[in-house]
Amino acid sequence: MLELNSEIVVEDLDEKVRLDVYLASITEWTRSQIKNQIDDGKALVNGKKQKAGFLIKNNDVLTLKFSKGEINAEPENIPLDIVYEDDDLAIINKPQGMVVHPAPGAYNHTLVNALLYHFDKLSRVNDNIRPGIVHRIDKDTSGLLVIAKNDKAHLSLANQIAEHSCFRHYIALLEGNLKEEKGTVETFIARSISDRKMMAVTSSGKKAITHYFVKERYNGYCLVEFVLETGRTHQIRVHSKHLGHPIVGDKTYGIKNQKFNLDGQLLHAYKLELTHPSTNKRMSFECEIPDYFQNLVNKLKKI
């Protein structure tokens, strides 16, 4: 089932907002889909059924029990860059522009569709549309992901991420030059008040910790390595903006007038360190930054 089952406490509203508008801003569901769920009594406000236009306020409790019926991701013959594979896991180098798993509005052509075609076995800890998926990266972020082939491996890998023993290293090109050579950003991240589909640094929310190291400096740009200690939605992109140096090409958190004609942010998950779930052997994987990323870096080196 494609579902959204959760209880949400409304916060950070400046004024009352329609129930359907609010839910559309914090989910990937359309207004019409949301209205159908509300009409069916699957979105309660403080335990009571309300209409789509009901005005909600801060501290209201929303109980969601959305479902769109039985949906299974189908195998698709989409090429994959498989960096490593054994009986327990696979390491995939995801290209920019590929969504990790199906969601409302994007049921096909995802990484999961490709995984189902290339692998006979995938973990089933998640639902039918996220087999094998232990962690995600954004559609327009490229790089390494670990895929679980069985439930035992999945639980081990998920625990490593939760316990911060699975290290994820990223490389990004930032606008301008960071003042320090290295540092740590520690903030809270939550939904943006102005745009509920964006994340923002706030006074409350979930703690987010990112370590950064400047690798190279250019005229007006810098190449930076990021290491995640936590894994919040859009964390590196939000923290880069918070530092005053957003990622080049970022259409959501970047500068308005982008100098280069890019398809998305220059952010690449280039290194992954983990402990193998069966052998307990420590393993490390790396992949080069994509050509479009490297070509721009090469141009900046000449300026």
CB atoms within 10 A of CB 116: 19
Decide: 48 and 227 in contact? Cβ < 8 Å.
Answer: no
Q: Catalytic residue positions?
A: 138
Return the beta strands (E) in the chain as ranges: 3-9, 17-18, 43-45, 48-49, 55-56, 61-67, 82-85, 89-94, 142-148, 167-175, 182-191, 199-202, 206-218, 221-228, 267-275, 282-286
> 302: how many CB neighbours lie within 10 A of its CB?
7
CA distance 283 to 272: 8
Contacts of 292 by beta carbon, 8 Å cutoff, 6+ apart: 96, 262, 263
Distance between CA 12 and CA 18 in Å, rounded?
A: 14
